[in-house]
Amino acid sequence: MTAAPARPRPASRRPSAADPAGRRRAPRGVRALSALQSTALVAIALVALVPLAAILVATFQSGADIMRGGITLAVDPATLRLDNWTMLFTDSGPYFRWFANSLGVTVVQVAGTLLVSSFVAYGFAMYDFRGRTPLFIAVLAIMAVPFEMVMLPLYVQVNEMGLADTYAVIVIPFLAAAVTIFFFRQYFLGVPKEILEAGRVDGVTEFGIFFRLVLPIARPAIAAMAILNGMMCWNNLLWPLLVLRSSEKFTLPIGLNTLITPYANNYGLLIVGSFFSLVPILVLFLAFQRFFVEGMTAGAVKG
Protein backbone atom coordinates (compact mmCIF):
# COMPACT_ATOMS: atom_id res chain seq x y z
CA MET A 1 0.00 0.00 0.00
CA THR A 2 2.75 2.41 0.87
CA ALA A 3 5.26 3.41 -1.75
CA ALA A 4 8.94 4.19 -1.40
CA PRO A 5 9.54 7.93 -1.28
CA ALA A 6 11.48 8.03 -4.54
CA ARG A 7 8.80 6.26 -6.56
CA PRO A 8 7.17 8.62 -9.05
CA ARG A 9 3.47 9.09 -8.66
CA PRO A 10 1.17 7.73 -11.35
CA ALA A 11 0.30 10.31 -14.00
CA SER A 12 -3.30 10.59 -12.95
CA ARG A 13 -2.32 11.76 -9.49
CA ARG A 14 -0.07 14.56 -10.65
CA PRO A 15 -1.41 18.01 -9.89
CA SER A 16 -2.10 19.31 -13.36
CA ALA A 17 -0.43 19.01 -16.73
CA ALA A 18 -0.93 22.72 -17.25
CA ASP A 19 1.38 23.50 -14.37
CA PRO A 20 4.84 22.30 -15.37
CA ALA A 21 6.53 24.23 -12.57
CA GLY A 22 4.45 22.43 -10.01
CA ARG A 23 5.27 19.13 -11.55
CA ARG A 24 8.99 19.76 -11.53
CA ARG A 25 8.96 20.86 -7.91
CA ALA A 26 6.83 17.97 -6.69
CA PRO A 27 9.56 15.38 -6.02
CA ARG A 28 11.57 17.76 -3.83
CA GLY A 29 8.41 18.77 -1.97
CA VAL A 30 7.44 15.17 -1.53
CA ARG A 31 10.87 14.31 -0.14
CA ALA A 32 10.68 17.11 2.40
CA LEU A 33 7.15 16.17 3.35
CA SER A 34 8.16 12.56 3.67
CA ALA A 35 11.02 13.44 6.01
CA LEU A 36 8.70 15.62 8.07
CA GLN A 37 6.16 12.83 8.25
CA SER A 38 8.73 10.26 9.31
CA THR A 39 10.05 12.54 12.04
CA ALA A 40 6.56 13.14 13.40
CA LEU A 41 5.65 9.45 13.33
CA VAL A 42 8.86 8.40 15.08
CA ALA A 43 8.33 11.10 17.71
CA ILE A 44 4.77 9.94 18.43
CA ALA A 45 5.89 6.30 18.51
CA LEU A 46 8.59 7.13 21.05
CA VAL A 47 6.13 9.01 23.26
CA ALA A 48 3.85 5.96 23.16
CA LEU A 49 6.73 3.82 24.39
CA VAL A 50 7.70 6.13 27.28
CA PRO A 51 5.43 4.48 29.90
CA LEU A 52 6.87 1.06 29.13
CA ALA A 53 10.41 2.37 29.16
CA ALA A 54 9.64 4.10 32.44
CA ILE A 55 8.45 0.94 34.14
CA LEU A 56 11.40 -1.02 32.77
CA VAL A 57 13.80 1.50 34.31
CA ALA A 58 11.78 1.44 37.52
CA THR A 59 12.31 -2.31 37.90
CA PHE A 60 15.95 -1.46 38.68
CA GLN A 61 15.11 1.06 41.41
CA SER A 62 14.15 0.54 45.02
CA GLY A 63 10.45 -0.01 45.61
CA ALA A 64 10.40 2.49 48.48
CA ASP A 65 11.80 5.24 46.23
CA ILE A 66 9.22 4.50 43.54
CA MET A 67 6.39 4.60 46.00
CA ARG A 68 7.54 7.91 47.43
CA GLY A 69 8.71 9.67 44.28
CA GLY A 70 6.79 8.02 41.46
CA ILE A 71 8.40 6.92 38.23
CA THR A 72 11.11 9.27 37.11
CA LEU A 73 12.99 9.75 33.86
CA ALA A 74 16.10 11.37 35.32
CA VAL A 75 17.65 8.34 36.94
CA ASP A 76 21.11 8.32 38.42
CA PRO A 77 22.65 5.17 36.85
CA ALA A 78 24.64 4.61 40.04
CA THR A 79 21.43 3.91 41.99
CA LEU A 80 20.20 1.16 39.65
CA ARG A 81 20.21 -2.27 41.21
CA LEU A 82 19.13 -5.79 40.33
CA ASP A 83 17.44 -6.40 43.71
CA ASN A 84 13.89 -6.51 42.38
CA TRP A 85 14.76 -8.98 39.67
CA THR A 86 16.60 -11.16 42.14
CA MET A 87 13.59 -11.04 44.42
CA LEU A 88 11.27 -11.95 41.55
CA PHE A 89 13.13 -15.14 40.80
CA THR A 90 14.11 -16.18 44.33
CA ASP A 91 11.69 -14.73 46.85
CA SER A 92 8.50 -13.59 45.18
CA GLY A 93 6.06 -15.59 47.30
CA PRO A 94 3.01 -16.61 45.28
CA TYR A 95 3.95 -14.64 42.13
CA PHE A 96 4.77 -17.60 39.91
CA ARG A 97 1.83 -19.52 41.29
CA TRP A 98 -0.39 -16.67 40.02
CA PHE A 99 1.54 -16.64 36.79
CA ALA A 100 0.89 -20.38 36.32
CA ASN A 101 -2.78 -19.96 37.26
CA SER A 102 -3.16 -17.23 34.65
CA LEU A 103 -1.43 -19.36 32.07
CA GLY A 104 -3.66 -22.34 32.82
CA VAL A 105 -6.90 -20.35 32.83
CA THR A 106 -5.90 -18.57 29.63
CA VAL A 107 -5.06 -21.77 27.76
CA VAL A 108 -8.27 -23.53 28.82
CA GLN A 109 -10.45 -20.52 28.19
CA VAL A 110 -8.97 -19.74 24.78
CA ALA A 111 -9.25 -23.35 23.61
CA GLY A 112 -12.82 -23.58 24.88
CA THR A 113 -13.88 -20.23 23.43
CA LEU A 114 -12.43 -21.01 20.01
CA LEU A 115 -14.17 -24.38 19.90
CA VAL A 116 -17.59 -23.27 21.18
CA SER A 117 -17.72 -19.91 19.39
CA SER A 118 -16.65 -21.28 16.01
CA PHE A 119 -19.20 -24.08 16.44
CA VAL A 120 -21.97 -21.55 17.03
CA ALA A 121 -20.74 -19.29 14.23
CA TYR A 122 -20.87 -22.18 11.79
CA GLY A 123 -24.56 -22.65 12.58
CA PHE A 124 -25.24 -18.97 11.89
CA ALA A 125 -23.20 -18.89 8.68
CA MET A 126 -24.17 -22.12 6.96
CA TYR A 127 -27.82 -22.77 7.69
CA ASP A 128 -31.10 -21.04 7.16
CA PHE A 129 -33.35 -21.67 10.12
CA ARG A 130 -36.24 -20.10 11.91
CA GLY A 131 -35.07 -17.57 14.48
CA ARG A 132 -31.69 -16.97 12.87
CA THR A 133 -32.11 -13.23 12.39
CA PRO A 134 -33.34 -12.37 15.91
CA LEU A 135 -30.66 -14.58 17.45
CA PHE A 136 -27.95 -12.99 15.37
CA ILE A 137 -29.22 -9.57 16.39
CA ALA A 138 -28.79 -10.82 19.96
CA VAL A 139 -25.13 -11.56 19.16
CA LEU A 140 -24.70 -7.99 17.90
CA ALA A 141 -26.58 -6.59 20.91
CA ILE A 142 -24.30 -8.41 23.35
CA MET A 143 -21.33 -6.86 21.58
CA ALA A 144 -22.78 -3.44 22.46
CA VAL A 145 -23.84 -4.16 26.06
CA PRO A 146 -21.04 -3.91 28.60
CA PHE A 147 -20.45 -6.94 30.79
CA GLU A 148 -20.55 -4.57 33.77
CA MET A 149 -24.35 -4.56 33.33
CA VAL A 150 -24.77 -8.19 34.27
CA MET A 151 -21.83 -8.49 36.61
CA LEU A 152 -23.80 -7.81 39.80
CA PRO A 153 -26.75 -10.22 39.28
CA LEU A 154 -24.32 -12.83 37.94
CA TYR A 155 -22.23 -12.40 41.07
CA VAL A 156 -25.29 -12.89 43.26
CA GLN A 157 -26.27 -15.95 41.25
CA VAL A 158 -22.80 -17.47 41.55
CA ASN A 159 -22.76 -16.94 45.30
CA GLU A 160 -26.17 -18.53 45.73
CA MET A 161 -25.13 -21.56 43.74
CA GLY A 162 -22.00 -21.91 45.86
CA LEU A 163 -19.77 -21.60 42.81
CA ALA A 164 -17.65 -18.69 44.01
CA ASP A 165 -13.91 -19.26 43.99
CA THR A 166 -14.01 -21.73 41.09
CA TYR A 167 -12.34 -21.37 37.71
CA ALA A 168 -15.41 -22.84 35.99
CA VAL A 169 -17.35 -19.67 36.76
CA ILE A 170 -14.63 -17.53 35.18
CA VAL A 171 -14.55 -19.59 32.01
CA ILE A 172 -18.05 -20.91 31.23
CA PRO A 173 -20.05 -17.67 30.79
CA PHE A 174 -17.64 -16.53 28.07
CA LEU A 175 -17.25 -19.64 25.94
CA ALA A 176 -19.88 -18.48 23.44
CA ALA A 177 -18.28 -15.05 23.04
CA ALA A 178 -20.17 -12.57 20.86
CA VAL A 179 -17.18 -10.93 19.13
CA THR A 180 -15.57 -14.29 18.41
CA ILE A 181 -18.84 -15.72 17.05
CA PHE A 182 -19.24 -12.66 14.85
CA PHE A 183 -15.71 -12.93 13.48
CA PHE A 184 -15.96 -16.65 12.70
CA ARG A 185 -19.34 -16.17 11.07
CA GLN A 186 -17.87 -13.59 8.69
CA TYR A 187 -15.09 -16.01 7.88
CA PHE A 188 -17.38 -18.99 7.32
CA LEU A 189 -19.62 -16.96 5.01
CA GLY A 190 -16.67 -16.93 2.61
CA VAL A 191 -16.23 -20.71 2.67
CA PRO A 192 -17.65 -22.24 -0.55
CA LYS A 193 -20.83 -24.24 0.07
CA GLU A 194 -19.56 -26.93 -2.33
CA ILE A 195 -17.36 -28.24 0.48
CA LEU A 196 -20.50 -28.98 2.50
CA GLU A 197 -22.18 -30.67 -0.43
CA ALA A 198 -19.13 -32.78 -1.17
CA GLY A 199 -19.00 -33.83 2.48
CA ARG A 200 -22.67 -34.78 2.46
CA VAL A 201 -22.27 -36.83 -0.69
CA ASP A 202 -19.42 -38.69 1.02
CA GLY A 203 -21.68 -39.47 3.97
CA VAL A 204 -20.02 -37.18 6.50
CA THR A 205 -22.34 -35.97 9.31
CA GLU A 206 -23.20 -32.26 9.58
CA PHE A 207 -20.85 -32.02 12.55
CA GLY A 208 -18.17 -34.02 10.81
CA ILE A 209 -18.29 -31.50 7.98
CA PHE A 210 -17.63 -28.72 10.48
CA PHE A 211 -14.87 -30.45 12.43
CA ARG A 212 -13.10 -32.29 9.61
CA LEU A 213 -13.66 -30.15 6.53
CA VAL A 214 -14.33 -26.55 7.51
CA LEU A 215 -12.44 -25.96 10.77
CA PRO A 216 -9.08 -27.04 9.30
CA ILE A 217 -9.29 -24.39 6.57
CA ALA A 218 -10.22 -21.67 9.07
CA ARG A 219 -6.69 -21.48 10.48
CA PRO A 220 -6.13 -17.74 9.89
CA ALA A 221 -9.39 -16.92 11.69
CA ILE A 222 -8.46 -19.27 14.52
CA ALA A 223 -5.07 -17.59 14.88
CA ALA A 224 -6.56 -14.09 15.03
CA MET A 225 -9.17 -15.10 17.57
CA ALA A 226 -6.70 -17.11 19.65
CA ILE A 227 -4.58 -13.99 20.01
CA LEU A 228 -7.53 -11.70 20.80
CA ASN A 229 -9.02 -14.04 23.38
CA GLY A 230 -5.65 -14.93 24.82
CA MET A 231 -4.86 -11.29 25.39
CA MET A 232 -8.25 -10.46 26.90
CA CYS A 233 -8.05 -13.50 29.14
CA TRP A 234 -4.47 -12.89 30.30
CA ASN A 235 -5.43 -9.32 31.23
CA ASN A 236 -8.90 -10.09 32.57
CA LEU A 237 -9.44 -8.49 35.97
CA LEU A 238 -12.99 -7.52 36.89
CA TRP A 239 -14.89 -10.80 36.82
CA PRO A 240 -12.10 -12.95 38.33
CA LEU A 241 -11.68 -10.26 41.00
CA LEU A 242 -15.32 -10.74 42.03
CA VAL A 243 -15.31 -14.51 41.85
CA LEU A 244 -11.93 -15.66 43.20
CA ARG A 245 -11.39 -15.55 46.96
CA SER A 246 -8.38 -17.63 47.89
CA SER A 247 -4.91 -16.33 47.21
CA GLU A 248 -3.66 -19.66 45.84
CA LYS A 249 -6.27 -19.46 43.08
CA PHE A 250 -5.60 -15.84 42.06
CA THR A 251 -4.72 -15.03 38.50
CA LEU A 252 -1.84 -12.64 37.83
CA PRO A 253 -3.80 -9.36 37.50
CA ILE A 254 -5.64 -9.99 40.79
CA GLY A 255 -2.45 -11.04 42.50
CA LEU A 256 -0.67 -7.90 41.34
CA ASN A 257 -3.64 -5.85 42.48
CA THR A 258 -3.30 -7.26 46.01
CA LEU A 259 0.32 -6.05 46.07
CA ILE A 260 -0.89 -2.44 45.75
CA THR A 261 -0.86 -1.64 49.46
CA PRO A 262 0.31 1.41 51.35
CA TYR A 263 3.40 -0.52 52.45
CA ALA A 264 6.55 0.01 50.50
CA ASN A 265 7.82 -3.52 51.08
CA ASN A 266 5.63 -4.81 48.26
CA TYR A 267 6.44 -2.13 45.74
CA GLY A 268 9.63 -3.64 44.35
CA LEU A 269 7.85 -6.89 43.58
CA LEU A 270 4.81 -5.04 42.26
CA ILE A 271 6.87 -3.11 39.72
CA VAL A 272 9.03 -5.95 38.54
CA GLY A 273 6.09 -8.36 38.60
CA SER A 274 3.98 -5.96 36.55
CA PHE A 275 6.70 -5.60 33.97
CA PHE A 276 7.29 -9.35 33.84
CA SER A 277 3.56 -9.95 33.31
CA LEU A 278 3.86 -8.10 29.99
CA VAL A 279 6.59 -10.37 28.69
CA PRO A 280 4.47 -13.27 27.35
CA ILE A 281 2.13 -10.97 25.51
CA LEU A 282 4.94 -8.83 24.08
CA VAL A 283 6.78 -11.90 22.83
CA LEU A 284 3.59 -13.18 21.18
CA PHE A 285 2.98 -9.77 19.67
CA LEU A 286 6.43 -9.57 18.10
CA ALA A 287 5.96 -13.06 16.66
CA PHE A 288 2.38 -12.74 15.42
CA GLN A 289 1.80 -9.03 14.92
CA ARG A 290 -0.53 -9.46 11.95
CA PHE A 291 -2.92 -11.68 13.90
CA PHE A 292 -2.99 -9.25 16.81
CA VAL A 293 -4.13 -6.40 14.59
CA GLU A 294 -6.64 -8.64 12.81
CA GLY A 295 -8.03 -9.94 16.07
CA MET A 296 -8.25 -6.61 17.86
CA THR A 297 -10.01 -4.93 14.97
CA ALA A 298 -12.24 -7.94 14.36
CA GLY A 299 -15.49 -6.25 15.33
CA ALA A 300 -15.27 -3.74 12.51
CA VAL A 301 -15.35 -6.35 9.76
CA LYS A 302 -18.29 -5.41 7.62
CA GLY A 303 -21.12 -7.94 7.28
Partner 1 sequence: MRRLLYSQRLAPYLFILPFVATLALFWIIPVARSVVMSTQEVLYGQTTSVGLDNYARLWNDSVFWTAMFNSARYMVLSLALLIPIPMLLAAVVNSRIGSPRVKAFFKASLFVPALTSVVVAGLVFRLMFSESENAVMNQVLQLVGLGPVRWLREDLTGLVALLALAVWRWTGVNTMYFIAGMQSIPEEYYEAASLDGANKRQQFLRITVPNLRPTIVYVTTISVYGGLAMFLESFMLYGGNASPNNQGLTVVGYLYRRGIEQNDLGFASAVGIVLLVVVMAINITQLTLSGTFRKEHVR
- Shortest distance in whole angstroms from residue 294 CB to partner 1: 9
Tell me whether residue 231 or residue 249 sits nearer to partner 1 (CB atom).
231
Tell me whether residue 22 or residue 107 sits nearer to partner 1 (CB atom).
22
Name, in order, each residue with C-beta under 8 angstroms of 69's C-beta and a sequence gap of 6 or more. none
Q: How far apart are CA 146 and CA 150, in angstroms?
A: 8
Residues making up the chain, counted from first to last: 303
Q: How far apart are CA 295 and CA 222, in angstroms?
A: 9
Return the sign of the alpha-carbon dihedral for residues 106, 301, 149, 278. positive
- Shortest distance in whole angstroms from residue 190 CB to partner 1: 15
Q: Which amino acid is at 109?
A: Q
- Shortest distance in whole angstroms from residue 87 CB to partner 1: 17
Tell me whether residue 94 or residue 123 sits nearer to partner 1 (CB atom).
123
Tell me whether residue 94 or residue 299 sits nearer to partner 1 (CB atom).
299
Phi, psi of 222 (to 5 degrees): -60, -40
Distances in Å between the Cα of 207 and the Cα atoms of 183, 186, 240 are 20, 19, 33
Tell me whether residue 249 or residue 298 sits nearer to partner 1 (CB atom).
298
Q: How far apart are CA 65 and CA 81, in angstroms?
A: 12
- Shortest distance in whole angstroms from residue 138 CB to partner 1: 6
- Shortest distance in whole angstroms from residue 144 CB to partner 1: 6
